Structure 1
Amino acid sequence: MTQVLAARTADAALRARAGSVIPGGMYGHMNVAGMPDAFPQFFTAGEGSRLWDADGNEYIDFMCGWGPVVLGRKDPAVEAAVRAQLDTGDLLDGPSPVMVDLAELLVEVVPHADWAMLAKNGTDATTACVTIARASTGRRKILIATGGYHGAIPWCTPRAGGVLPEDRAHLGYFEYNDVASLEAAVAEAGNDLAGIIIAPVRQELARDQEMATVEFARAIRTICDRTGAVMILDDVRCGFRLDLGGSWEPLGVQPDLAAWSKAIANGYSLAAITGRDSLRQGATGIYITGSFWYSAVSMAASIATLTQLRDTDALARMADAGRRLRDGLAIQAAAHGFAVRQTGPVQMPLMRFADDTADSTLARIWTNEAVKRGVYLHPVHNWFVSAAHTPEDVDQALERTDDAFAELSRLVG
């Protein structure tokens, strides 16, 4: 398949303008400065499973806004709920009744939840969970898996610029899926252990995803019960995509607190904290807030999103699309002579080349060729599948990724 991209004149002009008024030209996880050359920086539209960049190039999108889009962009039911709420009001001088409606829905669909609080970003939610754990226990130490990502704020950001040792003075670390390492960190924290925060899946850049074992998940639950520490599930990335009630529900493990965001409102900015009754007083006593945390529009979008996830086959469609994509890529890789590893949940897949370099050279070339052909994938971060990805979408994407494999084979000889 020949290259489908239009000339990048609009994107180049926007990058030049951004370089004058935005530090570094762009920042954060959506900065493509270090990405292969075919990746656009700016996008102008999205619908369903499709995305258009500033030059009008169309992509079958397997990043879904880096996770928030779970039903597909411009989902009719979500957009109708947004318009109806906009007609009434968004930011008022107090929350809209929709806040209570959403909290009730979260308590209904999340088995461990006796209450819910709402915020804006995943970092808001994880930080609130840590704060509630400390307030509820009167202890200081929080344990985190080495390399685990829980947000972009000094206590947890993966980049050390501007971070003081004091910001992390009461954090302890253990290895994911390693019960002995976890027990050692618990012993070191001693009677000052406030909580353990853990992601449902180990998802670090440029490495295979690692599903939690039942033994490991249950060990965290047992340790928290034994010590009186708070078990915090950081379900920001996985939540509402793998299981409506929480990503460790299939393992039979429920947390005391959970942090949610990304897929909670199909792309509208919202986060949530859910917790058990035993932590209600601690949650009541802390002070967290934000000028935009009470946006009624995002809450209306969330109700429409969660209702569809509950009442339709959206979760099953995502899993089917993810399996179809994964199976197709496995066949293609083998046909072109490449050994690959596909890891993580099928709804959040990642493919890595077995013989790749430390800086993921093969993955970068292959995803660059896929992007040139209108399939938006990431070389080192996990991808996302939405309920809008039809079998036809996946098959069309696979036609193009097959061409990307062929080009990779030609380029690397």
Structure 2
Amino acid sequence: MTITATQQTELPVDAALRARAGKVIPSGMYGHMNVTLMPAGFPQFYAEGKGNRLWDVDGNEYLDFMCSFGPMISGYANPVVDAAALAQQKRGDALGGPTARMVELAELMVDTVAHADWAMFAKNGTDATSLAVTIARAATGRKKLLKGGTAYHGANAWFNPNPLGSTPEDRANIIDFEFNDLASLEAAAAEAGGDAAAIILSPFRHDAPGSTDQYIVDPAFARGVRALADRIGAVLIMDEVRTGFRLHTGGAWEPLGIEPDLTAFSKAMANGYAISSVVGIDSLRQSAADIFATGSFWYAGAAMAAAIANIGLLTATDTPAQMNRVGQLLRDGLQSQAAAHGFTVFQSGPPAMPFLRFEDDDSLATAAAFTAAAVRRGVLLHPAHNWFLSTAHTEADVAWALERTDDAFAETRTLFG
């Protein structure tokens, strides 16, 4: 069954899988993929992805503006990326040691990312941010981390927004500051008292939970962060797990002329294959070599081959500009539709990673109703997390989506008249 203008209302295969999962998986699902936290109608299980479309296990088709929460950037089942991964898979993936793809990918990362002199690889974003923090502490001999407020930097004991299972000691060396507020950062540095190992932040503010606006970095703040890190001898860590290769292929702050010391990448690196990376400047090379960091699957070749192919696609043309252009079309259309249906909405963040919220909607009830109505019409959105554009999204796709979001706004108006 393909959704056109009609609505899907029941997901019987999905419901049966949820019932089975509830018996063998804690809560049936966990983490950010747990759709019991979402409005009714969101599918939990999917069967297929191709280009910018997903099909759930009940056969419903969706135009996907979540891109698997970021990993999909070149289209699901991209033939170039998949062929590279499959070719390596046929020769072996996790072998007795790394393949030549590891060296090739490290060379590519150094050539692509402006400030990178070396690269290390792991499997997911938490691996990468944890590696970066460990390297910074090893290099400085210090403990404190200066972190931007409620920013999410991974599901480890240091950064997990849910403290359950961690101890106060795990977070005792974190000092928060406000994004885009140099005075707040200066105060955090003063509180660290000479024990600041690193400043860690994202290229722009996209905190978790995502029910507040995203904030593009103030260039003066960015310059101030770099200057403060240099002055106090702290390592500047850029968390590009969510933003990497969508905002700029050489590093998100490169257009500002500002280079971090370490950057963590993951999500979009390999178009859905499991890999992450930390790249860094030459003066941190020895500290990166001295720490012990490893994983049984960190050196596997198939994901590295996929990353090489995917980064090649992304650097062949100005793909961030393409994603921003199409994302702006979506944003403009949604703004016009919301106004026509009597809603005040606020959109923030770069067009390639848009976020929409409704006025006076702290409970997210309106956002939940709108996104659920859109999902029932075949447009996959999220009420509390930023969305993602990919190179597979076109102007025609946006026009198709806007026909359906217009109906979703109309349905939402009947609920919140």
Give the aligned partner of residue 281 of structure 2: 276
Q: Deviations over 1:258-296 (max 9, x none)?
A: 000001000101000000000001100001111111110
What is the root-mean-square deviation in Å for CA atoms of aligned residues?
Answer: 1.0
Give the aligned partner of residue 67 of structure 2: 64
Give the aligned partner of residue 325 of structure 1: 330
Determine whether 1:228 maps to 2:228. no
1-structure distance, mates of 2:174, 2:358: 34
5+ residue gaps, structure 1, are none
Give the aligned partner of residue 215 of structure 1: 220
Determine whether 1:339 maps to 2:344. yes
1:6/1:56 contact within 8 Å kept: no
2-structure distance, mates of 1:312, 1:396: 25
Task: Give, in angstroms, the shift of residue 340 of structure 1.
Answer: 0.6
1-structure distance, mates of 2:227, 2:344: 39
Q: Deviations over 1:68-96 (max 9, x none)?
A: 00111011110111121112111100000
Determine whether 1:87 maps to 2:90. yes
Worse-superposed segment, 46-55 or 81-90: 81-90
Give the aligned partner of residue 242 of structure 2: 237
Q: Deviations over 1:177-203 (max 9, x none)?
A: 111010001011121111100011211
2:9/2:376 contact within 8 Å kept: no
Which amino acid is the alignment partner of residue 395 of structure 1?
A
1-structure distance, mates of 2:304, 2:152: 26
1-structure distance, mates of 2:211, 2:229: 31
Task: Give, in angstroms, the shift of residue 5 of structure 1.
Answer: 1.7
1:47 maps to which of 46, 50, 54: 50
2-structure distance, mates of 1:77, 1:6: 36
2-structure distance, mates of 1:306, 1:82: 13
Which amino acid is the alignment partner of residue 387 of structure 1?
T
Give the aligned partner of residue 146 of structure 1: 149
2-structure distance, mates of 1:355, 1:144: 29
Determine whether 1:18 maps to 2:21. yes
Q: How does 1:199-210 map to 2 (within 5 A)?
A: 199-204=202-207, 205-210=210-215
Give the aligned partner of residue 416 of structure 2: 412
Determine whether 1:360 maps to 2:350. no
Which amino acid is the alignment partner of residue 343 of structure 1?
S
Q: Could you tell me the TM-score, scaled by structure 2's length?
A: 0.97
1:267 maps to which of 267, 272, 283: 272
Q: How does 1:166-177 map to 2 (within 5 A)?
A: 166-177=169-180
2-structure distance, mates of 1:2, 1:87: 43
Task: Give, in angstroms, the shift of residue 2 of structure 1.
Answer: 4.7
2:178/2:184 contact within 8 Å kept: yes
1:60 aligned counterpart, secondary structure: strand
Task: Give, in angstroms, the shift of residue 249 of structure 1.
Answer: 1.4
1:62/1:377 contact within 8 Å kept: yes
Which amino acid is the alignment partner of residue 150 of structure 1?
H
Q: How does 1:347-386 map to 2 (within 5 A)?
A: 347-356=352-361, 358-386=362-390
1-structure distance, mates of 2:154, 2:175: 17
Task: Give, in angstroms, the shift of residue 152 of structure 1.
Answer: 0.2
Q: Deviations over 1:340-384 (max 9, x none)?
A: 10000100001111232x211110000000000000000010000
Determine whether 1:181 maps to 2:184. yes
1-structure distance, mates of 2:5, 2:386: 27
Task: Give, in angstroms, the shift of residue 6 of structure 1.
Answer: 6.2
1:71/1:314 contact within 8 Å kept: no
2-structure distance, mates of 1:2, 1:218: 49
1:371 aligned counterpart, secondary structure: helix
Aligned residues: 412
Structure 1 residue ranges (4+ consecutive) displaced by more than 4 angstroms after TM superposition: none
Task: Give, in angstroms, the shift of residue 410 of structure 1.
Answer: 1.6
2:346 aligned counterpart, secondary structure: strand
2:41 aligned counterpart, secondary structure: coil
Task: Give, in angstroms, the shift of residue 227 of structure 1.
Answer: 1.2
Determine whether 1:101 maps to 2:90. no
1:342 aligned counterpart, secondary structure: strand
2-structure distance, mates of 1:225, 1:102: 30
Task: Give, in angstroms, the shift of residue 409 of structure 1.
Answer: 1.2
Task: Give, in angstroms, the shift of residue 386 of structure 1.
Answer: 0.4
Determine whether 1:389 maps to 2:387. no
Which amino acid is the alignment partner of residue 19 of structure 2?
A
Task: Give, in angstroms, the shift of residue 3 of structure 1.
Answer: 3.2
1:123/1:151 contact within 8 Å kept: yes
1-structure distance, mates of 2:245, 2:290: 28
2-structure distance, mates of 1:294, 1:302: 13
1-structure distance, mates of 2:183, 2:318: 40
1:63/1:385 contact within 8 Å kept: yes
1:6/1:57 contact within 8 Å kept: no
1:401 maps to which of 376, 395, 405: 405
1:210 aligned counterpart, secondary structure: coil
5+ residue gaps, structure 2, are none
1-structure distance, mates of 2:386, 2:162: 19
Task: Give, in angstroms, the shift of residue 316 of structure 1.
Answer: 2.4
Which amino acid is the alignment partner of residue 246 of structure 1?
G
Worse-superposed segment, 381-390 or 165-174: 165-174
